[in-house]
Amino acid sequence: MEGARAEGSAPLSMPSFRLPTGPAAQPWCTAPRSAAREQGIKALDVRRPTKRAVLVMNGRAGTLAGRPELPRLILDALRTAGFDLTVIAEDAAPDMGGRVEAAIATDAPVIIVGGGDGTIRSVGARLAESGRTLAVLPLGTLNLLARDLGMPLDPVEAALALGRSEPRAIDVGEVNGEAFFCQSVIGLPNTINRYRELHRREKSWRSLLRVFAAAIRTLLRQRPHRLMINAPGWHKPWRIWTRALSVVNNDYEEGTGRMFHRPCLDGGALHLYVSRRFSIGWSAKMLLSMALGMWKRSREIEIVSGPAFIIRSRRKSLRVMNDGEAFILRTPLQYAIRPRALTVLAPPPAAAG
């Protein structure tokens, strides 16, 4: 099933923009998380000064489902790690948005957020260039930012690891003013993710089959988007038909077993991935290629980079998914990157590796 074709100039001949790097501007890179698992959580130095922080957790996060003891274990681990905590309780506000506002209203220099990528995105967007620090507790399904930061994915281990983590500055991507820290997606993955979210808390084969059936219907029915893409320095726009397009905040690394992994989070560039196809067979083939570390060699994916992109469509608005959170945004979509705009806590590179 043909999904995308380029019209006009070929994307491979377009200029690729990368910010200059030098001794004062080297991106920090996290190594694979497996070594951190092998090392385990090191004993904490009890002589460390206590760190003031406020904790807010999304009670609807998938990891908390069926584990009523987990919030208490996380609190104990954070206090063991040396944090003087203010805890925003579930009854502090009727929804997560209100609890986030309560956390930001405190004067704590560190905001610890427990949730998935969408929750992390919404809080981090508020903290960019604020002088305050975001700390991530992975409680979601994919936990993409936590993985890229080198955090353990077990929530209790992650809470302990925050005690030995260091402040790091990372880039913030934006589209029409809405932030994203990992990727912004247009097309079929958005629709499929919407069905997945509807059945996220259902842990049965029946719910999985419903999501799978919805994905099949979407693949058969949804027509490709006709888009026109431009970037600084391009002499003419790139016209495409595509079922799936992704704008990534810093580039993915290709390597065996590394799927959607970004080793550098402050490289200062956006990377645009456009699929020529999007079908069931193509998806299975791409997942296998990713697992083997060969997916970037595919002729069915076009990759270009730059500091900004403008995406135009005949439609007045497009559904965009930023780090798993859906938005309906008016066109044109204006993508940009804010270099090193958010401070996060991350394990030291040696510990993350």
Q: pLDDT tens digit string along 247-273?
A: 999 999 876 656 678 999 999 999 999
Q: What are the chain's domains?
A: 5-21+177-342 (2.60.200.40), 43-163 (3.40.50.10330)
Structure tokens at 231: 């970037």
Tens of pLDDT, residues 176-229: 999 999 999 998 766 656 545 555 555 556 665 665 566 556 555 667 889 999
**What is the predicted pLDDT for the residue at 60?**
82
Burial of 278 (0-12, 13-18, 19+ CB in 10 A): buried
- Positive or negative: CA dihedral 214, 215, 220, 226: positive
The yes-or-no verdict on residue 95 having pLDDT over 70 is yes
CA–CA–CA angle 135, 137, 140 (5° rounding): 135
The lowest-confidence range among 47-56, 228-237, 261-270 is 47-56
Pair 51, 78: CB distance under 8 Å:
no
Its pTM surpasses 0.75:
yes
Provide the strand spans (E) within 130-224: 133-138, 166-175, 178-180, 183-187
When pLDDT is averaged across residues 120-142 and rounded to a whole number, the result is 95
Pair 309, 246: CB distance under 8 Å:
no
Tens of pLDDT, residues 8-21: 444 433 433 333 33
Pair 134, 345: CB distance under 8 Å:
yes
